[in-house]
């Protein structure tokens, strides 16, 4: 199976180095913890977004939010503006999987946001947040066929086949970078690549879901985690200054390789 087939198998789509995943809003998935939304696309009456257009066709309305709370809020506000429900209908609304209130005329708990003269609950896990979005579309009469949600996973919750493929690819390319860009021989390059087994063990103790440098898919995570790891390494009394400097140099090599990847992915 080549990379294209593998990514298609898991509905994985790339945006530069970042790996996102796509699902139908019709799905009720149970594996959405440690995810964040990227984009929701829904089909709406064209006149909603293009006033005066009476072609009676549909338009695709997109929500771009990287917070489940903000996405739920944006979807609910948009639908209420375009196809308003009465106060009584809102207060009576429940999902089929929970009797918990969605709309309230008072702030029943902390995780509620203002919704006109009511409050909207955003007190959900990531998994249930993805479900609530589908429930809101049903409530407002939006056909969910063709409505897609793009979301991002932290590295260690990605499918194992994707993780294995990316890790082996990064190791191979990092080794080539060390040989071609740092003028190291193959033996030295192998030693540096293999040293990341120890780095990844330390990283996993510090941030389990991100515990593999080869799987990081954005420069911000790499920079932050590398800095935190070096702070921890500097505290290790059993390591000499020479060992610490070597570890720092190896991590800097990987940052250089990653910078090259970013440029190549543009």
Task: Tell me the average pLDDT across 153-161.
Answer: 95
Domain boundaries, the chain: 3-153, 155-265
CA distances from 45 to 34, 57, 64, 77, 85 (A): 33, 6, 19, 16, 17
Q: From CA 49, how far away is CA 58, in angstroms rounded? A: 10
Please report, in angstroms and rounded to a whole number, the separation of the first and last CA atoms in the chain: 26
pLDDT in tens, 179-211: 999 999 999 999 999 999 999 999 999 999 999
pLDDT in tens, 91-113: 999 999 998 899 999 998 899 99
Q: Which helix (H) or strand (E) holds 65?
A: none
> What is the secondary structure of 95-130 as a DSSP string?
BTTB---SEESS--SSSEEEETTEEEE----HHHHH
The pLDDT confidence band at residue 74, using thresholds 50, 70 and 90, is very high
pTM of the model: 0.92
R_g (Cα) of the chain, nearest Å: 23
Q: From CA 174, how far away is CA 191, in angstroms rounded? A: 12
pLDDT in tens, 142-154: 999 889 999 999 9
């Amino acid at each position: 199976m080549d990379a294209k087939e593998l990514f298609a198998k898991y509905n994985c789509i790339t945006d530069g180095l970042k790996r996102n995943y796509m699902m139908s809003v019709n799905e009720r998935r149970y594996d959405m913890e440690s995810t964040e939304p990227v984009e929701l696309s829904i089909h709406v009456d064209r006149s909603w977004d293009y006033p005066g257009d009476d072609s009676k066709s549909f338009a695709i309305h997109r929500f771009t939010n990287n917070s489940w709370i903000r996405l739920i809020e944006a979807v609910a506000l948009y639908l209420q503006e375009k196809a308003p429900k009465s106060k009584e209908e809102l207060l009576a609304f429940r999902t089929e999987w929970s009797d918990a209130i969605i709309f309230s005329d008072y702030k029943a708990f902390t995780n509620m946001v203002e919704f006109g003269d009511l409050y909207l609950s955003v007190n959900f896990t990531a998994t249930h947040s993805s479900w609530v979005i589908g429930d809101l579309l049903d409530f407002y009469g939006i056909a969910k066929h063709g409505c897609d949600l793009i979301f991002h996973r932290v590295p260690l919750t990605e499918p194992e086949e994707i993780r294995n493929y990316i890790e082996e690819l990064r190791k191979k390319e990092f080794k080539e970078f060390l040989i071609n860009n740092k003028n190291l021989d193959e033996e030295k390059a192998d030693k540096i690549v293999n040293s990341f087994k120890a780095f990844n063990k330390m990283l996993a103790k510090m941030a389990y879901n991100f515990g593999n440098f080869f799987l990081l898919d954005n420069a911000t995570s790499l920079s932050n985690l590398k800095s935190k790891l070096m702070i921890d390494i500097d505290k290790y009394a059993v390591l000499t200054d020479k060992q610490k400097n070597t570890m720092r140099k190896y991590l800097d090599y990987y940052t250089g390789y990653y910078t090259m990847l970013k440029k190549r992915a543009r």
